[in-house]
Structure 1
């Protein structure tokens, strides 16, 4: 495909890719926000948000071999919905050469690149190739969101680092082994194993270093707040950091009808994540009620709530140390209520957050 295909409709591009059987590494998917940032799609960002991380996703005709019940890439989705969305937003497909060309052109607008594997037999080797090419041609730090099921040896992780990735991501997603089994393992006849994901996390920290490995956790898959807080602490104790997502029901997925978590639940988990990751508090000093909701963080949290920082999108940093992967509106549609703020919340936002933070708390006290 020629680079001039940027001017054609996405429907035409998708049909051509399907007709020619094109796959990664020749083509790559990128988020709608990234396509807008690279001038490949029209549109504006609500409240003038700016995307600062280029998110890329490997793509194959066979699709992802994982069967995760909540995922937009899940194989059992209908042909009308399969692969059209992922973490809520559209992911159009372009030639990798075009994406690389545009990345060089818009490099000053970006702070990082994140390449995501999917569970496919070719994904690891293709990731090595693409990370190496990006590293050699673009002056931006690179994250690799790995597919742990494809990785067995420490040497595999070392290869990813040597190719040019400075940050490793591990999408454990669920706070408990039981929920993981239900939605990623035997419950959906999937290939993923809880123990193996944590093993790769530990190996990743050994290879990439403390603070250079991130874990994705999704709030609202059926865990209690206490279980999520304990998972946050466990990740932190291993030397990794958590990037938090709010569950969003993907159309066509097995959990399409499942409700998203309440905003108050998500706010408390955002605050708990921030305090734990920054060594300001511990899961062991937080208090939970009989419904396993956190009602006391064990410290005065008002200065941190007032700053708005705990409620911003958490993601890998850029060279400046600030969050680069800010994923504007990846968890919600643009509007008056945001789950993750892709910018610093203003005073009105903070006032709204305060009202949300302790809403829906049940009575009853319990010390962890």
Structure 2
């Protein structure tokens, strides 16, 4: 089976059962987004491509660790040989850190508010990066919202980001933006930004993200492109919240025309959406093909990404890399 179809099916399955040698040093856990608070995940690579696999001992797909990262992925009668990749922090080759592990908002697809995680100090963030500095190429910072978007931005921009310049690595930042966010992050020398539009329509955003404004996120994205450059501004777009394919296409077109690279993120049915299903492999493939064509039409190359999800490619069908 070709990789593209296999990855689509793995993303729909949502997890694998792991057997064989211990995998502790390869295991990643999330403190932000829909994967937060889960049982962890591993990154499997066939040498060219990468997929993030949640750990689920009830899965019908098995990953057998033979030791030292060597692994076999068993799906029915099919066996794919590859490696479990060593992570930096959260994903391979990056220190991807959640600064505030709680959130004052209640987005329906996100478990972070219920986890009530704590806020890291600058010293803690620096210490975490120092541990993995010899195996990373980038630093990525994300965060919940402890009280307000404005207060969170101030904390990230004044307490955290100035302390990270010492590592001389590209830095990507993904936070809830205010009107000031693009300019402040650019002035601090940040390489890339990701402000998540999340849903294909305004109506779905209002339903799933009460208290937040989709129009403000869209403005932050368009304001960021002249500062950071076309192809270095990103936005998650969740697939599976009740939108049609045509609504996804329209949103992709709007983002790419503005110079923004969308990240099509398959729904992880957690938090308030546990009864929902994941999007089918057929739908993920259909949308990924349109996504690829839209990027090509606007001369946007996701392979140029330096940080965050677009550089990792583990959680989505990545245009160019997977197709």
- TM-score category (smaller protein): 0.5 to 0.7
Which of 64, 88, 93 is 1:52 aligned to? 93
Question: Is residue 126 of structure 1 aligned with residue 155 of structure 2?
Answer: yes
Cα distance change, pair 145–202 in 1 and its aligned pair in 2 (3 A): same
Q: CA contact under 8 A between 2:231 and 2:304: conserved in structure 1?
A: no
Cα distance change, pair 72–166 in 1 and its aligned pair in 2 (3 A): same
Aligned-partner Cα distance in 1 for 2:124–2:280: 40
Deviation at 1:210, TM superposition (A): 2.2
Cα distance change, pair 316–53 in 1 and its aligned pair in 2 (3 A): farther
Q: TM-score by structure 2 length?
A: 0.64
Cα distance change, pair 344–159 in 1 and its aligned pair in 2 (3 A): closer
Q: Report what 1:201 is aligned to.
A: 221
Q: CA contact under 8 A between 1:315 and 1:325: conserved in structure 2?
A: no
Farther off after superposition, 98-107 or 227-236: 98-107
Give the secondary structure class of the aligned counterpart of 1:53. Answer: strand
Q: CA contact under 8 A between 1:72 and 1:83: conserved in structure 2?
A: no
Root-mean-square deviation (CA), in Å?
3.7
Which of 278, 291, 305 is 1:317 aligned to? 305
Deviation at 1:111, TM superposition (A): 2.1
Q: TM-score by structure 1 length?
A: 0.57
Aligned-partner Cα distance in 1 for 2:119–2:312: 20
Give the secondary structure class of the aligned counterpart of 1:161. Answer: helix
User: What stretches of structure 2 of length at least 5 have no aligned partner?
Assistant: 1-36, 43-67, 72-81, 86-91
Q: Report what 1:161 is aligned to.
A: 186
Q: Report what 2:276 is aligned to.
A: 258
Q: Report what 1:364 is aligned to.
A: none
Question: What is the aligned length?
Answer: 242
Q: CA contact under 8 A between 1:167 and 1:212: conserved in structure 2?
A: yes
> Which has a greater percent of strand?
2
Equivalence map 1:290-309=2 (5 Å): none
Deviation at 1:49, TM superposition (A): 4.4
Question: Is residue 109 of structure 1 aligned with residue 130 of structure 2?
Answer: no
| Structure whose alpha-carbon radius of gyration is higher | 1
Aligned-partner Cα distance in 2 for 1:316–1:32: 28
